[in-house]
Amino acid sequence: MKTSQTFAILALAAGLLPGAPAAAQDEFLGSTHRAPPRPDAAFDLRTAEGAAAVAARWRWRPAQVVPARLGAPDAHGKPTGPLRDTFDLAPRGDDPGLEDAAAWQPLEPAALESRLGPGRLSFVWYALDLLLPERADLAGGSAFLELVVDDYAELRIDGQLATQPGQAGGRAVAGWNAPNRVLLTDALVPGRAVSVRVLAANGPLSATAPNYCWIRSAVLDVYAPGRSAPPLAEGLVLQRFAPELDALLPASPRLERLAGGFQFTEGPAPLPDGGLLFSDPNANAIYRWSPGEGVGLWRSHSGYAGADIGLYRQPGSNGLAFDAEGRLLVCEHGRRRVLRVERNGMSTVLADAFEGRRLNSPNDVSVRGDGTVVFTDPPFGLPAFHDEPRRELEHFGVYAVRDGRTTLLDGTLRGPNGLDFAPDGRTLYVGNWDEVHKVVVRYELGEDLSVRERSILVDLTREPGDEAIDGVKCDERGNVWISGPGGVWIVSPQGEKLGLLRCPEQPANFAWGGADGRTLFLCARTGLYRLETLVRAAGAGGAGP
């Protein structure tokens, strides 16, 4: 979201243009393909000694394909039509009967190489119950289970599968005889019980072979506190302007670098499992980061797939957000629309035009508690930005979508960008990417989505730094966190500057997530970072009016 000249300089440094070093991309690949670090303790659960050290108990039971009935898909892809014949797995992972003790057979660790199941197209359930190691030096650390099943595996930890579309690995099928490495805990409590259920599938599925299911490898890796944590990022500086900041950030905040080597990170959207989806609009991709698994490609061609894609600087998705029903909203630059990915995987175009004319390139999106969606529509996803001849709208808008209707809230900003609701759901903040007018605008909205009052929350035009206003997020106390000149500004609801976070890379956008909701994930140019704070997000703007 820069002028053409500045953007080209950044793109060259990030690897978008020829001449950039390859080290950044190597770092990204390394974050997902390097061997895991050496643990402080490892337990081979295929040996009697290793299993005994953590009281591991193995069992198994067969699973079978059985006849079933399911409704035909309706217009929305849901199975509400006439019933027809299909197949199911018995028992399923969510079947209470899975835990019937009489159905399980004991399996000694040394017998994990036993070929189980009837062979060909067949499935087997494995049960592994263990206690985390009783060692005081490991308390508060992390534990990973790495499992290799012949041929495919799917893991449920303490009854939960926790998969996401596009996921490959972790609890989902990782590939042909590939290791599934799953984080069991990052706050280890010695002696805590962990229950693992593994569905093993014989393969390959398209050319069933005369072989059976068995476990090639099963290792519990345990790390002392801080040993498996991402490295701290050097160069973080916190400037405190008001004492109110002490309630928002620790006295000595720690910035961790989770991954690097991207072209331009944007649009973070936290996941329920503590992970994150985020965009790289330059690379036309959405990535997924999760604890213990690192980064993987979640969706390619995330914003455009046209024949003229070479003309675009940022063809991909930008802003991402989940609504209260768990549906993902995607701002697609190149396709010039806001897309909603339904829970069944189908897609709904939420907005692609205003009064019959195509949008420019939706940039960022936020959802209020009542389901109202707001988004910004600057020209930064178009090949020629403001000068794009294919533009159909004269303005660059801030819009609201409710009940299928798109309403223009403001069409006067030159670069409407990041936006978020205050906790009351009635106040909306929008950042303006404009090098000569670096402001965050405050809108007081009526129940009919009319703008009752418009004012400037803060003007950062005179602050040193080339950046204009990018990401904007509200915390639960109503403070506004702003990506602006020099770093991340923290501003009170009254417009008072409370503090400034200067980071090694300029964050474009950020979002709260993590296990307790107090982790601030920062998408900062080539890197993904996280910072522990003392507050949470505003809760998608509260319940709304």
pLDDT tens per residue across span 237-286: 999 999 999 999 999 999 999 999 999 999 999 998 889 999 999 999 99
The token pair at 520 is: 């601030």
Mean per-residue pLDDT, 298-308:
95
The residue to which tokens 């790495």 are assigned: 146
Burial class for 211, CB neighbours closer than 10 Å (0-12, 13-18, 19+): middle
pLDDT at 28 over 50: no
Give the per-residue pLDDT at 545: 32
Q: What is the pTM of this model?
A: 0.85
Domains of the chain: 4-34+233-532 (2.120.10.30), 41-223 (2.60.120.260)
Q: In this structure, are residues 535 and 473 in contact, taking their beta carbons and an 8 Å threshold?
A: no
Cis peptide before 91 (omega within 30 of 0): yes
Give the per-residue pLDDT at 133: 97
Mean per-residue pLDDT, 479-496:
98
Cα distance between residue 113 and residue 413, in whole Å:
65
Mean per-residue pLDDT, 432-453:
97
Q: Whose CA is closest to 280, among 25, 34, 4?
A: 25
Q: Which residue has the higher pLDDT, 541 or 529?
A: 529
| pLDDT over 90 percentage in the chain | 84
Name the band, by pLDDT with cuts 50, 70 and 90, for residue 231. Answer: confident
Torsion sign (Cα): 280, 322, 300, 207: positive
Give the per-residue pLDDT at 290: 87
